[in-house]
Amino acid sequence: MTNEENRLSLKIKGEDHALLGVLVEELNKDPKVVFAAYKVEHPLTDTYLLTVITDGSKSPLDAIREASEKVKAVFAELLRQVPK
C-alpha cells in the first residue's frame, strides 16, 4: 500500500474486473480525481493494484468511499428492478 496526501495505491485480493472496472469508472467521473486505474499484478493470481490520485482537495480514500457508495446504490437499484 502506498499512501501519500493525494495518491493511494492498494493491493486488492479476491475481487476481479467486474467490481474494479465499475469502481474505476465511477472514480473517473469525479472531477477531483486526476487518475484512477487498476492492473492485474500477475495473470495467475487474483491480486490487483488500484491506484487513485486526486487534485488534493479530496483524499483518495474519501474518493474511493464515495465511488463505492455510488456503485453500491446502482447495484441495489438493479436488484430492486429484477422480478422476484
pTM: 0.88
Distance of CA 78 to CAs 25, 26, 72, 83, Å? 17, 16, 10, 10
Q: How is the chain split into domains, by residue range? A: 2-81
Kindly tell me if the per-residue pLDDT of 1 is higher than 80. no
Question: Cβ neighbours of residue 30 under 8 Å, at least 6 residues apart?
Answer: 58, 63, 66, 67
Q: How confident is the model at residue 4 (pLDDT cuts 50, 70, 90)?
A: confident
CATH C-level class of 2-81: alpha beta
Express each pLDDT in 11-68 by its tens digit. 999 888 888 999 999 999 999 999 999 999 888 888 999 999 999 999 999 999 999 9
